[in-house]
Structure 1
Amino acid sequence: MTSPHPPNSVEVITGLDDLRVDLARRHRATVSAAWTIDPAVAAADLAAVERDGYVIWENLISPAECERLRAALAPLLGRTGRNTFEGERTRRAYNLVDKTRACDGLVEHPRVLALLDRLLLPNYLLSQLQAIEILPGERAQLPHHDDGFYPVPRPRPALSAATMWAIDEFTEDNGGTVLLPGSHRWDGERQPAQSDARVVARMPAGSCAFYLGTLWHGGGENRSAAARLGLTVQYCEPWLRPQEAYTLAVGRRTVRAVSEDMRRMLGYSIHPPFMGAVDGMHPKRILEQQDSAGE
């Protein structure tokens, strides 16, 4: 393939528009698996999210897949939370990308990516992948919105989005996620009140709730006799710092093993013109250099 520039030539930058491209030019933004979703379906999902702040999809994965996930996640779940926000009777597992491939299909599910492609800038990042098991007797979690730690005043567009996958059935009694419809439009002064409408994400196992990072929500109280296992996947704009530092937490052997969508979301991508570069180059070149060295 012919290079767009002669050898040893210097590209002339005349304005900011010239910097809104990948200066490396070799690794373009890849097309996500979202292309498999009917645009009309994705448009309806987007309309629901813009109206309510969330959308619920039932039965996206099979009972057999839920059972496989339970088996993979069970040995990874740690002790109960370190504080009341994590949950005194809630077990969690962090950095699942480096511990198991069982969750990859949820992270890169085409229905999810189709919405993210419409909500966030290209090369958006994976911010967190976490299993959450709410045990019997757990109290309701403090309501919060997931991108509240970014110091950008509200009201504003969401800087992140999240999914909560029901690996077990979510009910009103076992800690189903509580959502506050329309709260994604609140300003920074407003806090949840008892009078605000709330919706429990009642979902059969295998279902998924997608919600904006500006939507107020929280884990529900578990008044049942059984644990409730969920998996949350959070994504953020490509110019923001993710919650989990995946370029440090995930080994390069794992990065080579995952899909192009996953690799991009782990930070092996560029937000134009050069955010995310390594030694002035696209980070994917690190993988190529190590491959050529036999590492």
Structure 2
Amino acid sequence: MSAEVSSVVDLVGDLAGKYRRTESSGNTVDPAIADADLAALHRDGYVVLENLLSPDELRAIRTDVEPLLDRTGRNNFEGHATQRIYSVLNKTRSCDRVVEHPRVLALLDRLLMPNYLLSMLQVINIRPGESAQMLHTDDGFYPLPRPRQALSAATIWAIDDFTADNGATEIVPGSQEWGNRLPIDTEERIPVVMPAGSCVFFLGTLWHGGGANRSPNPRLALTAQYCEPWLRPQEAFTLSTPHEIVRTVSEDIRRMLGYSIHPPFIGQVNGMHPKRLLETGEGDYRG
């Protein structure tokens, strides 16, 4: 059945109209809580969400990722004493909860456009002796002048307690509002101290960096980063994630991997919704 449209803004899904956007699990969060989180985020550039993961969830993440920590960073930004795991979704399901936690999605639903994307999921283990990471912004690689609205947001999840001495993420509150100003050596870096199972959620325009680990123990964390649906993510999930895994994850994660449409056309495959690939089981189709 065909339908006429007078403008591209009338096109809210794929051209065949088969798939409609579904609400995220963020709509299960009390709106008063989500709105308070958003107010803190806009005021400071970040908000700490405490005790979102249970001891069992933390234990499962640690059990799955620790055997995969087999290499250190390639430069001083990655950290020569820091271990990282990429393509996490291909290696364990225990981290899915981090990506799609309703408290996080409730913020993203208010901050970014519908069908926002997962840009990066990474495990970061800062080992003893690591120096402080250079301060940076997570959407600084998008070449649009500041000050501006954030194009992305990030979470960093504490699998170990974050302390002032073990490499807790350090932030510069209010720096999301800066224009061309850059942090200087005397700029106060504030460590985000929080218990294991918590996360810090911050805007992509906030200056931040990993702290120095002056403790005798490593500091394990995950970061999940998100971006507007019309931007190119850091990680090409539609290439790196096999279809059998995409079929296994939740609808929230599937949508954030890029199996969604930013109306009217962004993300389409052969003129149709990318979910059709999951139906055919093929890497190409004629529709």
Q: TM-score, normalised by structure 1?
A: 0.93
CA displacement 1:188-246 (0-9 Å, x = unmatched): x2100244343211011111100010000000000010000000000000001111100
Partner amino acid, structure 2, of 1:182: G
Q: 2:38 aligns with which of 30, 46, 66?
A: 46
Find the counterpart in structure 1 of residue 65 from structure 2: 73
Counterpart CA distance in 2 for 1:174 and 1:274 is 46
Q: Identity percentage over the alignment?
A: 63
Q: 1:284 aligns with which of 271, 275, 278?
A: 275
Counterpart CA distance in 2 for 1:285 and 1:84 is 42
Counterpart CA distance in 2 for 1:17 and 1:206 is 41
Q: 1:118 aligns with which of 110, 115, 125?
A: 110
Does the residue aligned with 2:123 lie in a helix, a strand or coil?
A: strand
Q: 1:136 aligns with which of 128, 143, 146?
A: 128
Q: How far did residue 25 of structure 1 move?
A: 1.5
Find the counterpart in structure 1 of residue 194 from structure 2: 203
Aligned pair count reads 282
Q: How far did residue 16 of structure 1 move?
A: 4.1
The answer as to 2:62 corresponding to 1:60 is no
Q: How far did residue 14 of structure 1 move?
A: 2.8
Q: How far did residue 21 of structure 1 move?
A: 5.1
Q: 1:252 aligns with which of 243, 255, 258?
A: 243
Counterpart CA distance in 2 for 1:81 and 1:270 is 35
Counterpart CA distance in 2 for 1:269 and 1:93 is 26
How is 1:52-201 mapped onto 2 (pairs within 5 angstroms)? 52-187=44-179, 189-201=180-192
Counterpart CA distance in 2 for 1:270 and 1:30 is 12
Partner amino acid, structure 2, of 1:225: P
Counterpart CA distance in 1 for 2:97 and 2:274 is 24
Unaligned runs of 5+ in 1: none
Partner amino acid, structure 2, of 1:59: N
Find the counterpart in structure 2 of residue 263 from structure 1: 254
Larger Rg: 1
Find the counterpart in structure 1 of residue 285 from structure 2: none
Does the residue aligned with 1:75 lie in a helix, a strand or coil?
A: helix
Counterpart CA distance in 2 for 1:161 and 1:78 is 28
Q: How far did residue 78 of structure 1 move?
A: 3.2
Partner amino acid, structure 2, of 1:202: V
| 1:128–1:233 contact (8 Å) kept in structure 2 | yes
Find the counterpart in structure 2 of residue 218 from structure 1: 209
Partner amino acid, structure 2, of 1:214: T
| 1:22–1:273 contact (8 Å) kept in structure 2 | yes
Find the counterpart in structure 1 of residue 25 from structure 2: 33
Q: How far did residue 30 of structure 1 move?
A: 1.1
Q: TM-score, normalised by structure 2?
A: 0.95
Partner amino acid, structure 2, of 1:142: M
Counterpart CA distance in 1 for 2:16 and 2:207 is 39
Counterpart CA distance in 2 for 1:20 and 1:267 is 16
Counterpart CA distance in 1 for 2:170 and 2:238 is 32
Partner amino acid, structure 2, of 1:39: P
Counterpart CA distance in 2 for 1:78 and 1:244 is 20
The answer as to 2:219 corresponding to 1:228 is yes
Counterpart CA distance in 2 for 1:111 and 1:19 is 30
The answer as to 2:234 corresponding to 1:243 is yes
